[in-house]
Amino acid sequence: MINKNMAYAATRAGVKKIFYSSSACMYPAYNQEDPDNPKLSEDSAYPAAPDSEYGWEKLFSEHVYLAFKKNYGLNVRIARFHNIFGPLGTWTGGREKSPAAFCRKVAETPDGGEIEMWGDGKQTRSFMYVDECLEAVRRLMDSNFSEPVNIGSEEMVTINQLAEMVMEVAGKKLKIKHIPGPLGVRGRNSDNRLFGEKMGWAPSMKLIDGIRKTYPWIKEQVEKAKVAAK
């Protein structure tokens, strides 16, 4: 309803251009069962079969905006985000992305301790640092391309590797305790070929460099929370 109302209001107000943030969660679950070879090119969206209600909502909202473009000339840009992270983002409470969650867990745990991880940690993902996401969005908005396009990193890692990267940045060696919990799809990685073709640009920041920028900020938040709790 929010997106339908936004598209309607933008059309009535004569908005010159509007951005919609979709998500990689709208891709079919059947293309994300192999952790080593997920298929997430933009043309793989159909037959539709997202693995969650969130994914279905994103897919439907894409169609809402494209319908307003077709019928009323709404100038829309649509990006399918792939796990954006960085400082100033959500870092606690259960809605944070995996890099932020592991930064928090590692910051809270003394060297030699143990952190928990849902599943076996062999599921794969890619994560994009927020500054590069903003650059990609700016380039998309400045372009004439109005179809949905991926915005994300193609550096695919296992969740175990992600946790090890955070430990490396923190200078800690911790044990990982694998516990039951929600896993999502087994493999997800951005396919940036279309974005590169249309925008002539690709992200270049390595995941560990993004973690180096993010971990100190989350560590600071953890320390502030400890002081506030006393």
**pLDDT given at position 182:** 86
**pLDDT given at position 102:** 98
**pLDDT given at position 220:** 98
Adjacency order of strands within the sheet including 76-81: 18-23, 76-81, 149-151
Q: How far apart are the C-alpha atoms of 116 and 191, rounded to whole Å?
A: 30
- Determine which one of 8, 30, 46, 54 is catalytic: 54
* Residue whose entry in the numeric block shows the structure tokens 């259960």: 94
**pLDDT given at position 230:** 82
**pLDDT given at position 28:** 97
* Residue whose entry in the numeric block shows the structure tokens 């896993």: 183
Q: What is the mean pLDDT of each run of 10 residues along the chain (230 residues)?
A: 97 97 97 96 96 96 98 98 97 95 98 97 97 98 97 98 98 97 93 98 97 98 93
**pLDDT given at position 227:** 94
Q: Measure Cα distances from 43 to 52, 142, 150, 191 in Å.
A: 20, 23, 11, 11
Q: Which domains does the chain carry?
A: 2-229 (3.90.25.10)
Q: Is the pTM of this model over 0.85?
A: yes
**pLDDT given at position 183:** 85
54 in active site? yes
Q: How far apart are the C-alpha atoms of 88 and 103, rounded to whole Å?
A: 13
